[in-house]
């Protein structure tokens, strides 16, 4: 049975046929599931400069335009035999509204167009995409492009160098989610592990050891053996296994671009302090790869 049966699409109010909408429709058609579309917006930063009557007019115009747009889209999809519903919401708390809709619709996948916010804006305001990466308890699919509405190539990006991902079973969950999506789409599934020497050293070295060429070679050999054992256990063919040394963000970005991956499946971990301000690997990768991402949170 396919995993993703009940899809919640957070629509882009400015786009009629957005990549996320194309992906959502393709997935629903592939699995015979249901789709709920929600247009969620609220007061923008300068709206406080307007008087109350003008603010109310902006809200009413948004609701009227989006309701008409979603009705037309719902009618079009219903005529194709797709089980689809829609709703328009004006709110000051978009994250809470998304999570509420997710619960009400019992969604097992949330889909949204990714928004590439400028660096300066991200320094002062946490983007909605980042907030959802941190808060959304079900798989979150942020779509940047849909050249192939139904994905053809999917890569699971695992991290075998960090103890917390091994203990939590996160890598297994990432690969399982990628496998389910690949099965649903009849797509090609790849497995990628990007590692740096320092995290690997912290994970495997029992005591401080000199960074000799012999030690680095042994460490690299151990990393490859661990990766191949993991891939073997989960039935990933040899030709679709990729282990690369380097910065995870750069390696994942380069690999997804070079191999023309439609979706990169990654995990998210709870971050604190400076890591939370700067963003996790998943959050940073969102702005650097042409592929869409599917994120999995810990249990």
**CB proximity list for 96: less than 8 A, separation 6 or greater:** none
CA distance 241 to 225: 12
Beta bridge partners of 83: 34
pLDDT score recorded for residue 201 = 46
What domains are defined for the chain?
1-150 (3.40.50.12370), 151-299 (3.40.50.12370)
Q: What are phi and psi of 295, to 5 degrees?
A: -110, 145
At 117 the three-state DSSP class reads coil
pLDDT averaged over 10-residue windows placed end to end, the chain, 299 residues: 84 85 95 93 58 78 92 95 94 92 95 70 59 90 91 94 66 93 95 75 50 74 88 94 88 92 85 42 68 87
Tokens of 79: 């005529």
pLDDT score recorded for residue 104 = 95
**CB proximity list for 20: less than 8 A, separation 6 or greater:** 9, 10, 11, 12, 111, 112, 113, 141, 143, 146
pLDDT score recorded for residue 249 = 85
pLDDT score recorded for residue 13 = 81
The number of C-alpha atoms within 13 Å of 179 and in the hemisphere containing its C-beta is 13
pLDDT score recorded for residue 34 = 96
> Are 295 and 266 in contact, with CB atoms under 8 Å apart?
yes
Question: Could you give the angle at which helices 197-204 and 213-233 cross, rounded to 10 degrees?
Answer: 80
pLDDT score recorded for residue 123 = 39
Q: What are phi and psi of 132, to 5 degrees?
A: -70, -35
Q: What are phi and psi of 134, to 5 degrees?
A: -90, -25
Residue keyed to tokens 């490859």: 224
pLDDT score recorded for residue 276 = 40
pLDDT score recorded for residue 293 = 92
In this structure, are strands 292-296 and 140-143 parallel, antiparallel, or unpaired? antiparallel
pLDDT score recorded for residue 58 = 81
Residue keyed to tokens 């804006």: 121
pLDDT score recorded for residue 124 = 38
DSSP letter string, 129-175: HHHHHHH--S-EEEES--SSSS-SEEEEEE--S-HHHHHHTHHHHHH
Tell me the whole-structure pTM to 2 decimals: 0.85
């Amino acid at each position: 049975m396919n995993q993703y049966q009940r899809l919640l699409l957070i629509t882009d109010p400015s786009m009629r046929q957005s990549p996320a909408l194309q992906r959502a429709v393709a997935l629903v058609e592939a699995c015979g599931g249901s789709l709920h579309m929600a247009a969620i917006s609220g007061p923008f930063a300068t709206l406080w400069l307007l008087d109350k009557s003008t603010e109310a007019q902006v809200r009413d115009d948004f609701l009227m335009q989006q309701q008409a747009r979603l009705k037309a889209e719902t009618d079009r999809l219903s005529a194709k035999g797709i089980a689809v519903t829609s709703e328009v919401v004006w709110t000051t708390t978009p994250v809470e509204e998304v999570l509420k809709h997710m619960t009400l619709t019992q969604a097992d996948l949330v889909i949204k167009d990714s928004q590439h916010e400028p660096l300066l804006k991200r320094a002062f305001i946490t983007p909605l995409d980042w907030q959802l990466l941190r808060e959304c308890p079900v798989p979150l699919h942020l779509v940047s492009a849909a050249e192939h509405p139904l994905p053809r190539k999917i890569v699971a990006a695992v991290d075998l160098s960090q103890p917390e991902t091994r203990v939590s079973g996160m890598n297994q969950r990432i690969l399982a989610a990628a496998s389910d999506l690949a099965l649903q789409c009849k797509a090609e599934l790849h497995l990628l592990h990007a590692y740096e020497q320092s995290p690997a050293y912290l994970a495997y070295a029992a005591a401080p050891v000199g960074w000799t060429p012999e030690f680095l070679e042994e460490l690299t050999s151990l990393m490859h053996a661990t990766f191949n054992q993991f891939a073997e256990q989960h039935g990933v063919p040899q030709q679709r296994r990729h282990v690369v040394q380097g910065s995870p963000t750069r390696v994942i970005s380069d690999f997804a671009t070079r191999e023309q991956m439609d979706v990169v499946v990654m995990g998210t971990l709870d971050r604190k302090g400076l890591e939370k301000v700067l963003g996790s690997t998943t959050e940073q990768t969102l702005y650097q790869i042409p592929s869409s991402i599917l994120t999995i949170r810990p249990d």
